[in-house]
Amino acid sequence: MKSFRKVLIANRGEIAIRIIRACQELGIRTVSIYSKEDKLALFRTKSDESYLIGNNKGPVEAYLSIEEIISLAIKKAVDAIHPGYGFLAENPEFAQKCIESGIEFIGPTPEMMDKLGDKIKSKLIAQSIGVPTIPGVEKAIKSDQEAIKFAQRCGYPIMLKASAGGGGRGMRIVRNETDLLQEFHSAKNEAQKAFGIDDIFIEKYLESPKHIEVQVLGDNYGNIVHLYERDCSIQRRHQKVIEFAPAFKISAEQRKAICADALKIARSVNYRNAGTVEFLLDKQGNHYFIEMNPRIQVEHTVTEIITGIDIVQSQILIAQGYKLNSKEVGIPRQSAVQTRGYAIQCRVTTEDPSNSFAPDTGKIDVYRTGAGFGIRLDGGNGYTGSVISPYYDSLLVKITSWSRTF
């Protein structure tokens, strides 16, 4: 069993504060990194230590400086690194560098990330174990001719997706051949800018499906459990904006089948740490695997509230070598994982309604939060006097509400 004295958080904003809180509750010291643009950000004041990173780099590139982050972690005697979500969270190279430097990476292994973090590879894994998937290509589309050929064979509408993507970036719905090539190149360019990889794959687009995802946790000893499902169907520009758990208007049989298939996929690679297996549910009630995110999710709060299980603390304890069914982790065997009541999460962001709700910037003059029984706030940069910069996500706070009935 490993003992973490100090954990570095390779992230910023709301998720950095969330990880800092989990570490502090476990008695672990925390180290924050911040870009020069984040000099006054709230998260860096919450940790025990805080250091400037990427001083000669751009605002996003600073948080992608693998060598500099690893060097700082070694210099400051860090035992482990938590990547949060976004930035380096799904980067196998970063996870491998941590391992090579003797630093524990709080997440899955690089091999697991490589297999499941890539949408095409994970889809092939699902097909190999009999989990249904949406009809689509089995490798990245490289040319205009390949894109046209698949679309003609599959029929419109189709969905273009960045293989290494997330957060709705590199995704396009195409409904006719006229728009195909323009959207194909647009998706490739967006994927390259966001993820450094422009691989695009294509699949049949399902009209108005339910988007259901299953939270899983696996330890280092082959034990894997699911914490039931979340409904993430309410989206804007292919990005989730409202999430709730458990999903309603799905039958007990559908819930059981979806959760069972999520475990099959996780077990196929002996998955370790926290992950989310995502499915689409069509109007006929059939479910299809679409991807697995090998990291913590923005919407993990709703699952924590209805199960009473702290997922971020569980990540840290699993990385230390604790078993899922041990008293320290506090996750019982699968048959004893229960849900209670309903939870909904929404995101409060700075946006301009007169400009198609584009992210907005400026100083916050007045800030009042929600409050009351069943209200949980996960703060980012929301407070009176805060200056919202144009460089990062415009999230101020996540609000999660709970009650016994939906």
Phi, psi (degrees; rounded to nearest 5) at 207: -80, 125
Instruction: Measure the CA–CA gap between 158 and 179, rounded to whole angstroms.
Output: 11
Question: Could you list the active site residues?
Answer: 240
Instruction: Measure the CA–CA gap between 85 and 312, rounded to whole angstroms.
Output: 12
Instruction: Measure the CA–CA gap between 11 and 79, rounded to whole angstroms.
Output: 16
CA torsion angle for 230, 232, 234, 239 (degrees, to 10)? 150
Listed in sequence order, the DSSP H helices in 227-310 are: 252-268, 300-307
3-class secondary structure, 51: strand
56: how many CB neighbours lie within 10 A of its CB? Answer: 8
403: how many CB neighbours lie within 10 A of its CB? Answer: 11
3-class secondary structure, 112: helix
- For the sheet containing 200-204, what is the strand order? 172-174, 158-162, 200-204
